[in-house]
Structures are given as structure tokens and as C-alpha cells.
Amino acid sequence: MAEVTLTGGFWAKLQQTNAAATLAHCEEWMERLGWLANFDHAADGTTGPERPGWPFSDSEVYKLLEALAWEYGRTADPVHGAAVRRLTARIARAQDPDGYLNTAYGHPGRQPRYSDLEFGHELYCTGHLLQAAVARLRTYGEDELTAVARRAADHVCDVFGPSGRPDICGHPEIEAGLAELGRALGEPRYVEQARLFVERRGHGRLANVPFGIGGAAYFQDDEPVRTAGSWRGHVVRQLYLAAAAVDVAVETDDGELLAAVERQWAHTVARRTYLTGGMGSRHQGEAFGDDWELPADRAYCETCAGVASVMVSWRLYLATGDLKYADLIERTGYNLIAASPRSDGRAFFYANPLHQRAPGPAADDGAVSRRAEGGTRAAWFDVSCCPTNVARTLATWQTYLATVAGERELTLLQYADARIDATLGDGSPIALDVETAYPDDGTIAIRVRQAPPAPVTLRLRVPAWADGAWLEEGGGRRPAAPGAVVVERRLRVGEELRLHLPLSPRHTWPDPRIDALRGCVAVERGPLVLCAESVDLPPGLTLDAIAVDTASPPTDRSGGTLIRASATTDADHAWPYDNRPAPRDTPAQSTEVPLVPYHQWAERGPSAMRVWLPAAPR
């Protein structure tokens, strides 16, 4: 945590808002709704049939605890340190003597332990508890929280180990928690239990889901991880499972398992992923669709799925060194994770469509939203997994910026104002200052504060979209093709390198096999996906009446991006079809339409919005 510090810019602002507002906001809502008091009741033996919250509400407390632990590790702020201790104390009181810890099952007035593995989420909640303990371990050391996690993990191994119940949880997460805790503590038993859970999945151990939302595939219980060709079913379940599979593969040196996840990632990114990096095209089942099933207006793209996608891509990058995984992290970060929290950190998107046909209702910051979809960010949700997932991700965002490998190699993966004080593989220190206004500006300046006397390999990621990038060093310049530009030599203290990434806005076309997007075009600028909002249109003009003139490239002007479009006046007809291909409305007039970064949409109030706009015939 201490090796990279964000010193300003896009991610630092989000991180500061997360620390100053979001963490307390989440705790206040959980206290208000009784989710924290559930632990008190479990400890006191006063639970009953009227327990507030869904069965998995414990997991939100654990994700908040994880975020607080990371945040305390980042800043040593005593406010967050006190919050960690306060929540830990309440949680610890609720743990049973044998290590079982859950407020929804196994108590007076509640169902027995592990009586609903499909939807009870008991092991899922435990997985999030273990991840919170890992955050505390890595930023503070062993304490009461890690002791609670050890007892919980031992309990899981006792009940579900090789000689125990051969079952799995309906929602993967315990696997990742066990693998991470096993790695952090050097406890192979936990890693082995994670491996068992991964290998058990895909053999029909869970009951099929009713109502046609995917059957065994909903749980990824239809095909083993090793043989599956693509990701399917409930998106977050699938991605948490994939993250755990990578952890298990790395810890056990299982190349076949790692290759399976790499294959599934490649297929899913190529055919089942939105321009924003979002995943999940079906509201029913919060699920992946089939190949090329990517409708903009019905995109689900749950915020938690974006977080989980980053989790998988990060692990795959660390396991392989392939920079395509860092490219997807950048895309998902700027266009989905950053889109969820409102600028004040106190309201969030749960789903992230790429087309909002009508402005959503005005937000009520005092009410719980019962709907995941909506055109405005909500202060809290009935199922409020996304705010806490965003919180724990933003608290650690600086850790995605750089990696070391080998004896003397350092790679810059993401770009932000930052101070890097790292130790290379051979033990020698290296210190860099990064200054940039990215993503608004494409120049990244890297200044050397400290360097070893021996040659080093400095790799700078060049995003896949950055054709025409160049590196400036020592008074000269050289092209930097997409992938990585490499500096391999002795670095001099005080010298500066400048990477220039072209940020001219560009048209982006969909694969013609995406039926819902045929005839449409989007606009991107650097890593940002742009969109049009109804609040920027003149009276009488709607987003449905705009067609982009793709012969005129989008331009930057007056601090924003503009596109040239033809606009028609909407006309009502008795029948929405015709035997003529030409539109029946009034002749088109040329106009300029401003675009905004997708992550900023609905910040000015309810608005209709489109990422994919019809392209005018040429």
C-alpha cells in the first residue's frame, strides 16, 4: 500500500471522496436499517423471524470493513482505524464457539445452518469476511479480525473439507477468500479448500433455478471450470469464481486451470462485453447473454460485475504479464466503476445501461431504492452490494498503477499523478514521480527520484487505442506502439521521460454481429467512452432524432467534445413501419451535439442518454 501514493487527479479525487464521504455513508445506512444490529442480536441470542435485510446483508458489513481496513492502511486516519475496531468488536461477539459466523442462519427463529446452499449465501458471506481480514493483515497485522477469520476458515474446512460435506455455495466468493487468506497467512489448508470448491463446481451439485433464468448455468454448476468455453450465468457469481480459479491456479502451479480462465476471458471480452467494459446483458438473472447479445438500452452491466471484472483481469495480468488485461482494467475503471458513485460519494448506480430512453425519476436520498435499474443514482438499495464494492475498490486503486517483475523491471500500468517508492526484485530501491492530467490530457511525465546503479527495465503501457503515441527521452523521441514502450538502461536521478498518448476523439463502430447496434456509432476519447445527454439538446430535439455525420470527425472545442449530426423533427405515425427505407419525418437539419464522458452522465439531474447513436447514411 505504501509503495504508490496518488498525489492528485482523477483517481485521487475519487479516492478522497470515498474516504471522506462514502465509508461513513455506508455505515450510517447499515446502522439505520438494522444490518449491523443483526450481529448484536446473534451475539445476544435475540434473533427472530423478522431479521432485517436479505440473508446476505452480512457481506455488505464485511466489504465495508475491508474498505475501512484498506483506507486505514493507506492514510492511518484514526477515524477509519476506530471504525475497523468498532465493527470488528460487534462481529466477533456474534461468532459461535466452533467458528461459524452468520446472522441469518443457525439462530433462534432462523433456519438451520447450511440449509439453503443455493440462495443462503452463508459461505459467500464468509468469503467476504476473509477478504476483510486479508486487508487488515496486509495493512496492520494480526488482530481480533484476523483471529475471527482464522476460526471461520477453520470451521469451513472442517465442515466442507475432503471428509466433510461435498457441497458448494450458490454464490462463489468463499473460494477467493480462502485462497487470499491462505496466501496471506501461509496456510496451505485454506488454499486446498479453495481448490476443492473450484473443482466441485460444474457437476450439478446445486438445484436448478426456476423461472427460466439459467438453470445450473446460473450458478456455473453446469460445466467444470476447466472445460467451460466462456463465462455464462449470473455475472458476479461467474467472475468471483474466475478470480478464485486464477488464485488457485497460481498457488498450486496449475497451468491447465489458468489457461482455462485465460480462454474464457478472451471469448467473453471478444463477444459478451460492452464498450464500457461492462458485463451482463440480461436483467433476468443478472446474467451474461449469448455471443453478440449486447443491447445498449437493456444493458445490465452491474457495478459489482465491473469490480469483479477488474479482480479477474488483475489476477490474470499478475499471472501472465499480458498488458491486454491492464487495458480492460482501464476501460472498466473509467467507464463503469467511476460512473457508479455520484460526485459527492453518497449515491450510486447499480446497473449501468448505455442508453436511457427517458429521464429517470429524481433521486430521493432519504429512501431505499427497490430497483437496480434507474436513470439516477440512488443513495442506498434494498440489495446494496454495489456501494460497498465500489468503496473497497477505490480504497485500493493506487495499487493497480505499477508492478515489479524479475530482478530489475518496473511496469507502469495505469496513469495518474503519483509518487512511487518501490523495491525491485533484486532488493534495490527505485523512486519515480508521475505527473499528468490524464485522461483529459495525454502527456505523462515520469521523473526519476532514485534509481539503482545497474540497468533497469522500465515498461510503460501503451493502450490498444493509442495509435500514434510516442516517447520523449533524452532530447529525442521514438514511436510507442500499442502494447508497451520499453526503456532498458541505467536511469539517471533527475531525468524525465514523457509518454504522449493521442487523445483526439474517435468514432467507434460495433461488430456487425451485434444486432442491436447495427447502423450505430459511438465516440471515444482516450480511455473515455462519451455519450449524448438530453439536457444538452435544444428544445424540441430528442436523442431519437439525431444521426451522426461520420464524414465529419468529432472535435474537441471549449473544453468538450462535439459531433456533427443531422437532426429531424419527430413525427407521429399510425404505424411504425413502412415499405420505404427512407425516414418519413421532416428533412434533416445539420447541428452540433456536445458529448460528455459516460461516467459523468446524470450528474446534472435526470436525463435521457445514449452512447451508441445512429449513423447518418453516407
Q: Beta strands 470-473 and 429-436: pairing type?
A: unpaired
CATH number at residue 443: 2.60.40
Q: Are 31 and 159 within one domain? A: yes
Going by C-alpha positions, the residue among 244, 247, 214, 246 that lies closest to residue 232 is 214
Of 500, 521, 538, which one is at a domain's C-terminal end?
A: 500
Buried b (16+ CB within 10 A) or exposed e, 117-136: bbbbbbbbbbbbbbbbbbbb
**Same domain for 378 and 278?**
no
Q: What pLDDT, on a 0 to 100 scale, did the predictor assign at position 222?
A: 95
Q: Are residues 478 and 530 in the same domain?
A: no
Residue ranges in the chain modelled with pLDDT below 50: none
Task: Return the C-alpha cell found at 359.
Answer: 429521464
Q: Please provide the distance, in angstroms rounded to a whole number, between the alpha carbons at the two ends of the chain.
A: 53
Structure confidence by residue, pLDDT tens digits, 505-532: 999 999 999 999 999 999 999 999 999 9
Domain for residue 144, yes or no?
A: yes
Q: What is the dihedral of CA 474, 476, 478, 484, to 10 degrees?
A: 20
> 423-456 pLDDT, tens per residue?
999 999 999 999 999 999 999 999 999 999 999 9
Residue 572 half-sphere exposure, CB side, CA atoms within 13 Å?
A: 1
C-alpha cell at 273: 462485453
To which H or E segment does residue 153 belong?
A: helix 144-160
Domain check: are 432 and 569 in the same one?
no
User: Are 180 and 228 within one domain?
Assistant: no
Helix (H, G, I), strand (E, B) or coil at 447: strand
What pLDDT is attached to residue 211?
A: 63
Same domain, 577 and 607: yes
- Tell whether 279 is covered by a domain: yes
> Does the residue 213 lie in any domain?
no
C-alpha cell of residue 488: 532498458
Distances (CA, A) of 390 to 234, 252, 370, 394, 396: 19, 30, 19, 6, 10
* Its pTM surpasses 0.85: yes
User: Which residues are CB-neighbours of 306 under 8 A, at least 6 positions away?
Assistant: 277, 278, 279, 332, 336, 337, 340, 352
Helix, strand and coil in the chain, % to nearest 5:
35, 20, 45
State whether 274 and 255 are in the same domain.
Answer: yes
Q: How many domains does the chain have?
A: 4
What is the phi/psi pair of residue 547, to 5°?
-130, 125
158 shares a domain with 140:
yes
pLDDT given at position 585? 58
Instruction: Verify that 496 and 520 share a domain, yes or no.
Output: no
> How many whole angstroms separate alpha carbon 318 and alpha carbon 314?
6
Q: Cβ–Cβ contacts within 10 Å for residue 72, how many?
A: 25
Whether residues 194 and 226 fall in one domain: no
591 is a domain residue: yes
Q: What is the pLDDT of residue 586?
A: 61
Alpha carbons 47 and 66: distance in angstroms, whole number: 25
Place of cell 451485434: 514
Q: At what angle do helices 174-185 and 122-139 cross, to 10 degrees?
A: 30
> What range does the domain containing 144 cover?
17-200+346-355+366-400
